[in-house]
Structure 1
Amino acid sequence: MSATALTHWLRVLAAPGHRHDEVLTPAALDFVGRLVGAFGERRLELLKERRRQALRLGSGSPLDFPMVTSGIRADPSWRVAPPAPGLADRRVEIAGPPDRRTAVDALNSGADVWMADFADATAPTWDNVIDGQLTLIDAIENREQPATTIVVRPRGWHLDEEHLEFDGRPVPAALVDFGLYFFHGARRQIDAGHGPYFCLPKLENRYEARLWNDIFVTAQELLGIPRGTVRATVLIETITAAFEMEEILYELREHSSGLNAGRWDYLFSLIKTFGHRTDFLLPERGQVTMTAPFLRAYTELLVRTCHKRGAHAVGGMAAQVPGKDPAAHEAAVAKVRLDKEREAEDGFDGSGVAHPGLVELCREVFDGVLGDRPHQIDRTRDEVEVTAAELLSVRRTGGPPSAEGVRANVAVALRYFAAWLRGRGAVALYGLMEDAASAEIARVQIWQWLRHRVVERETVVRLLEEELVSLGAEDPWAPLDEIRALFERTAMAGELPLFFTPDAYTQHLVRRVEEGA
């Protein structure tokens, strides 16, 4: 089958699938092509700037709040746009991949918002990407569904979509996820009383937020949709973005719906950025709670920043999966309750869960603080002052990681890789709903411990082999050699790969049908 030639130099390099023609219409692909033509080169320049910033920080340059934007932070006059329809009350959000079963569960869970996650919760096979778009179209068309607001999380700027080609190169995956959903869903959502809403992952600075804002403006102009209809929540899940929260809100202010706190990705970013330094050596991930001073500084600053500018502050995702064992279930519920109580009392306007069984618990906690109010943005937290030193004060507690802690990271990474390579981006492991962020923090912690010799390489090799044997017994069809190689490349190499997904995607998930084949 030959690749399909389309206007604006966009070609499909994948075999057709069931109902794919409903998404990959010539007009939709033309729309995505226009966005790629207008913004693709700028995205590449921003990725180069990421690498330059990483080199600067790696060589010892300090990380601080930017002096050049001090005027934006000091100016009391600006605020973000008021909440859009369906986004005023966000006390309970549920996240998951945009597959049909998850969509049904999420839209009937009682959550106020469903975040359809093409990023960390989706293994980006071509079928998953297009079927996810079909799921969203069908969900919007189903007029009998509960009034849950849909928010779409596209893939990050660092990822390509190799099943689409523009001018001889892969297309930015973020523009594929955004563009196809916007083209097919924006008008439908407006007609349904909501709008095209997004959650933006992995941003590292204000320039990346500005790029998204310009994309929103152009997309609205191309489809004749009023400017400001798009709304976007930004996940603050990188350490550099934590120093530019106000600037990110400012760049997106006419399209902003607030900020969202991440956890595993934030810790993952810390290690990627400062993993070469012993003062950023983290203990095993189960010991790094949100009460740690540097994480408290991060969440306090997020609430303060959002409410100062009239924006929602949304708390982190509870990954616990309610279990059948009564004792384990009660322990998980108690942990989630404590976490949500802290967030609500700190001023967050809502929070997230990964399982429908936790929706009512989250609602109960936030109802207790919010009452009949949709949010607590009026609680401006003026008393909060956070310094750069506090954001970066990662004090290692305890001794070296335990054997169980090292094994847990190896086990989670291997089992997640096994699921991801088979097209599953969200998987329940050891009582938690794990996604790509979980695998990232697990594998970079192994890398950091090896680098600083708090764990011997021989120990990791032994645990790797033992866990591969266990995985093979659990799943005789697991591609053990591929999983081992992926772990060795991303967790045990001398230089740390920034993400496991780009290389693994290219090697294992891309199934192109080349022209003339």
Structure 2
Amino acid sequence: MASVMATPVSGLTLHGPAQPGQEDLLSPAALAFLTELHRRFEPLRQARLAARRDRQARFDAGELPDFRADTRAIREGDWQVADLPKALLDRRVEITGPVEPKMVINALNSGAKVYMADFEDSTAPTWANLLIGQRALRKAVAGTLDWMAPDGSKHYVLNQENLAVLMVRPRGWHLDEKNVRIDGERLSGSLFDLGLFAFHNAAALAAKDLGPYFYLPKLQSMEEAALWDEVLAFIEVRLGLPIGQMKVTVLIETLPAAFEMDEILHALRGRMAGLNCGRWDYIFSYLKTFRKHRDRVLPERSQVTMTQPFLKAYSELLIKTCHRRGALAMGGMAAQIPISGDDEANEKALARVRADKLREVSAGHDGTWVAHPALIPVAQEIFDAHMPRANQRHLLREDVGPSRDELIKPSVGTITRAGFDNSVEVCVRYLAAWLDGQGCVPIHWLMEDAATAEISRTQLWQWLHHGGLHLDDGTPVDFTLFDRALLALPSKLADRMRLPGGSKINEAIALLDQLTDSSELAEFLTLAAYEKIQ
């Protein structure tokens, strides 16, 4: 049960249910460090979040995203990011996933070049999950992490060599950590995740010339990137590290950030390793940015692929921008998971992965993401065959130069009944699992996380609130259709108690109904859901 726990650090209280080993992770020195981060940077974080809201209000009023006139000198200037460390020169296949111990071991042992340990979209941020994840990563850095199956049937240990390089993704600037309050305010989830990891592991990783390295999510502007640069420099000083020791890769997963790639690289140029095409969140951001624009409603998710013009333009601009500045251009996620018991369907899924990875490496990407270890050899084979060097920074892509209109061009497509119903089902099932403490869920042979659930949730809201839309069979897309899909779910998921989060299905249905019925699109579904977990 949650309780308020005073600490030796003045002004800081803990509100989460006490966890085993908490005192070691949240030592007085660690809490004092987090308190210092909060007091120094919380006003700046709030200013950046206010700037997001102001810009979205302008988009809602009809303004369109565009390249900034006030930063033209940065875009046209002749500069490069700092040299990359040896450990980050070859990142041809990266695996991502939540921070629970078994996953950490399997990912580090997987044969991928990099493992991105994810406190964000694939981790439901319960207090227990966060502390278990921090403890697992601390042991992994020390080389002592192991995990025993509950029935004792299998013991998981770290390989002694050929481990993936560890990168950590904290939560985005918009998320709070409600279980740590300083001077009565919630600590930033970003500062909790990154700050606590750095406090315990930065020195050990620096001694091995392995960072620490981070992925930074959900940035929308160069000012948000500059805030991260300030935070990281401050941490380096406090922990006695050289300035620039911490390296970062920034996910370009918001539409506004696509117009500020040069500026984001420049703001973090002393510690920048690359940019990543976070395509699922990018589609979500496109939907959210244009939530009030009837002429930019997208078709169902399955039709919004990377061959759509606005996504192709974004990917090519990222490659061109990164390589011009000496940074790596990372490709997107393959969310497929092996389909057991159906060889034909499994081969079709793998063929889609191969085609996607071939598109990425041929365009000039330096590496790619997979969600499941079984996809590592598939992606590795494609990149090995078409990228003989460690990376492709020599490929400058001077042949591309997308305009503003190309970057925001809407997709052509339809909404099928199956696509509509799937959006409802995926969102409910993911929300149910998230409320039950699971942030990464296999649904219909895809690994769904918060980003893909956000696409489903936002599309439902947009389709229903604009009005006048129809399924491809002529059926009106309206709240009657939505209510029928919701009402059909309990019987459709008759075996729901065997599903991840099955006991939370009814609660998830109610939450999706509330979010979809609201006259205003909620910024993130996880903000409302976060208040329902401990």
Q: TM-score, normalised to structure 2's length?
A: 0.93
Larger RCO, structures 1/2 (Cα 8 Å, 6+ apart): 1
Distance 1:186 1:470 in 2: 48
Distance 2:506 2:305 in 1: 34
Q: Indicate if the aligned counterparts of 1:140 and 1:192 stay in contact, CA closer than 8 A.
A: no
* Further displaced range: 170-179 or 28-37: 28-37
Distance 1:15 1:431 in 2: 34
Paired AA for residue 392 in structure 1: I
Distance 2:6 2:508 in 1: 34
Query: Which residue is equivalent to 1:457?
Result: 479
SS at match of 1:271: helix
Q: Indicate if the aligned counterparts of 2:310 and 2:406 stay in contact, CA closer than 8 A.
A: yes
Pick the aligned partner of 1:42 from 23, 41, 44: 44
- Runs of 4+ aligned residues of structure 1 deviating over 3 Å after TM superposition are none
Distance 2:490 2:217 in 1: 31
Query: Which residue is equivalent to 1:309?
Result: 325
Q: Indicate if the aligned counterparts of 1:281 and 1:448 stay in contact, CA closer than 8 A.
A: yes
SS at match of 2:391: coil
Return 5+ residue gaps in structure 2 as ranges: 145-159, 470-476
Paired AA for residue 182 in structure 2: F
Q: TM-score, normalised to structure 1's length?
A: 0.96
Q: Could you give the per-residue CA deviations for residues 486-508 of structure 1, whole angstroms, max 9, x where no partner exists?
A: 101222322110101111101x1
Q: Could you give the per-residue CA deviations for residues 385-412 of structure 1, whole angstroms, max 9, x where no partner exists?
A: 1110100111332x4x111000100110
What is the 5 A alignment of 1:64-83?
64-76=66-78, 78-83=79-84
Distance 1:486 1:157 in 2: 23
Q: What displacement does 1:215 show? A: 0.3
Distance 1:2 1:385 in 2: 54
Distance 1:339 1:196 in 2: 30
Query: Which residue is equivalent to 1:492?
Result: 517
Return 5+ residue gaps in structure 1 as ranges: 511-517
Distance 2:276 2:119 in 1: 17
Q: Could you give the per-residue CA deviations for residues 401-427 of structure 1, whole angstroms, max 9, x where no partner exists?
A: 111000100110011011101100001
Mark the CA change 1:413 to 1:2 in structure 2 (over 3 Å): closer, same or farther. closer
Pick the aligned partner of 1:7 from 6, 9, 29: 9
Q: Indicate if the aligned counterparts of 1:4 and 1:13 stay in contact, CA closer than 8 A.
A: no
Paired AA for residue 441 in structure 1: I
- Size of the aligned set, in residue pairs, is 505
Q: Could you give the per-residue CA deviations for residues 152-171 of structure 1, whole angstroms, max 9, x where no partner exists?
A: 00001111001000110111
Paired AA for residue 434 in structure 2: W
SS at match of 1:86: helix
Query: Which residue is equivalent to 1:514?
Result: none
Pick the aligned partner of 2:376 from 349, 359, 384: 359
Distance 2:161 2:462 in 1: 46
Q: Indicate if the aligned counterparts of 1:149 and 1:194 stay in contact, CA closer than 8 A.
A: yes
Q: Indicate if the aligned counterparts of 2:423 and 2:460 stay in contact, CA closer than 8 A.
A: yes
Q: What displacement does 1:485 show? A: 1.8
Query: CA RMSD, aligned part only?
Result: 1.3
Distance 1:334 1:62 in 2: 37
SS at match of 2:339: coil
Q: Indicate if the aligned counterparts of 1:232 and 1:256 stay in contact, CA closer than 8 A.
A: yes
Paired AA for residue 31 in structure 1: F
Q: Indicate if the aligned counterparts of 2:440 and 2:448 stay in contact, CA closer than 8 A.
A: yes
Q: What displacement does 1:15 show? A: 2.9
Distance 2:283 2:174 in 1: 18
Confirm or deny that 1:173 pairs with 2:198.
no
SS at match of 2:187: strand
What is the 5 A alignment of 1:164-203?
164-203=180-219
Distance 2:446 2:516 in 1: 21
Confirm or deny that 1:242 pairs with 2:258.
yes
Query: Which residue is equivalent to 1:347?
Result: 364
Paired AA for residue 229 in structure 2: N
Pick the aligned partner of 2:30 from 23, 28, 31: 28
Distance 2:462 2:121 in 1: 22
Pick the aligned partner of 1:218 from 225, 234, 242: 234
Identity between Structure 1 and Structure 2 (%): 43
SS at match of 2:269: coil
Distance 2:94 2:504 in 1: 35
Q: What displacement does 1:472 show? A: 4.9
Distance 1:154 1:500 in 2: 18
Query: Which residue is equivalent to 2:99?
Result: 98
Q: Indicate if the aligned counterparts of 1:472 and 1:478 stay in contact, CA closer than 8 A.
A: no
Q: What displacement does 1:145 show? A: 5.0
Query: Which residue is equivalent to 2:157?
Result: none
